[in-house]
Structure 1
Amino acid sequence: MVAELGGSYDERQVLRMLDHLMEDDVIETLSPEKRRILLVKQALEISLRVAEDINRAQAAQAMRSVVDRSVTPETLGQLRFVDNSWAVDFDFKLLEGLSYRRLMLLYGEWMKILAQFVAALERENLYVFIAVVTEEFHDRIVNRYAARDLMGLEEFSFWLETLSTDILSQPRVIRTGSLEATVNDGAEELAYLLVTRGQVIHGQERISRICTTAGVPLTDVPPDFWVGWQKAESIDRLMTEYAKLGHASRLTLLILSRQLGVSLPRDIAF
C-alpha cells in the first residue's frame, strides 16, 4: 500500500499518516501469524477467480467438495457462496484472542483448503490455471509481502508441480552431492531445495539431467573444486533449467528466491 501511495504522495507523508491511523486504532498492524493467514487467504481468493474464469461451474463444484470435507469453524465461517460464486471473507474478528498455536493451525487449514481446491480442478484445465496463477501471484502476492511472510508458501508451488507431473515412482535415495542446506548462502540453499524436492517431484533422472546441464555436481567433489564464480554461474543455470519444467516450477523459483534473497537470472521473466 505504501509503495502504491508513494507514486502520488511523498513517502514520509504516507508513513506519518499511517502512524496517526494506528495510534487512533483506525487500522491495526497484523501480527506475523495473521499476515501469513492473510497471504494464504489472498492466494485462495486469486485461485478461485482464476479457476472461475476458466470454468465457473467446475470451480464452484471443486470448492464445494472441499468445504464439505472441512470441519474447522474459523475457516468455514469465512467462505461464502453468493450468486453462484465462492468468495473469501477477510475479516479478522474471528481471529481475535486466539493463541499463536491456534493461529498457525488455522494457517495450515487454509493451506490445506487451497491445496485441496486446486487438486479438485479438472486436470485438462490445470496447465492454464497454473500459468495464470503464477502471473497473478507475481503481480499481487510475492512482491507485496515480506520475505518471512512467504515462509511455507513454497509448499503450494511444490504441490502444483506435483499435480502437473506424471512421475509416480519415488527415488530410494536423494542425491545431493556437495550441496548443503545452509542458512549462510541463500543461493546454495535454494539450489539444495530445488535438487532434493525436484528429485521427489520430477524424478531423479530428469533432475540429474538438469544438474548436468547446469554444471551442478550430484557427486561429492573436493571443497576447492566448486567455488566462486563457477558455483554462482552453475546455480544460475540450474534455476534457468528448472524453470523450463513448467509454470509451477517458475512459481517455486519466484517464491524461494524472494524468501532467500536470491536474484533470479534475467532469462526467467514474469
Structure 2
Amino acid sequence: MTTRFTDKVVLITGAGSGLGRAAALQLASEGASLSLIDVSEAGLADTAAQVTEIASGTKVLQLVADVSNESDVESYVQKTVEAFGRIDGFFNNAGIEGKQNLTEDFGSEEFDKVVSINLRGVFLGLKYVLAVMKDQGAGHVVNTASVGGIRGVGNQSGYAAAKHGVVGLTRNSGIEYGQYGITVTAIAPGAIMTPMVEGSLKQIDQDNWEEAGRQFVSANPMQRFGRPEEVGHLVAFLLSDDASFINATTIPIDGGQSEKY
C-alpha cells in the first residue's frame, strides 16, 4: 500500500460528493488525516463513512461551511489547525455550475452566486491556508479549475469567468509562495461523471440526459466520461512530495478534448 500521506493532514472543500469525495477516498487509502468541508452535513457524513470503510483508522474532521463566507473559511482553517496542528495539503475544490444560458439571458444574481462560490471561495481558501503553510515552510495546494477555465464552453458566463479566475489565482499564488516551499497548482477537469455533471446534462435534456451524455462525449478523443477516481489519483499526486517541483500551472484531465481542434 502507498503511504505517501502518513502523518500528513489534508483539507478538502466540497468533500461531500464528486471530486472532493473521490480525493478523500484516495488520500485516506494513502494514510492521510482528513479535514472535510462541505455545505451538506449529510454529504460529509456519507464521505466520512466511505473513508472509514476503506481505511478504518483514518482521522476525519467534518466541518459544515459555506466557502463564500469569509468567517466560515477562517473558522474551518482554524479548527483544522486546532485538531491536527498543521495543514500539509489543501484541495480547494468546492464549486457549482449554475444555470446554463446565453450571456444576455444569464441572470445577474446567478452570475454573482457562481462567482462567489467558485472564485471568491477559492480565493478565501488560499488566503487563510497559505498563511498556515507559510508559517510551516511547506505545503501543497490544488485548486479545482475546469476546461471551462482554459477555453470557452458556451452558455456558462458565471462558471467560465470564475474558473478562468481560478487559473489566474493559481499562477499568481504559485509565483508568490514557491519561495516558502509551497506549491500551488490547479486541475482542469473535463467531463467527469459526477453529480454536478449529471445535473448539467439534465439541464440539456431532463428526460433523456443519459443519451445527451453519450452524444456529449462522442466528440472526446477517448469517447467516454472520466471517472472521479481518475481525478482523485491526480489530486493525490499533486498534493504529494512526488510533485514538489510542479507549481503555478493548470493540468487538464479531460481525455485530450481541450487539445482537439
Which has the larger strand fraction? 2
Higher helix share: 1
TM > 0.5 between the two? Answer: no
Which protein shows a greater Rg? 1
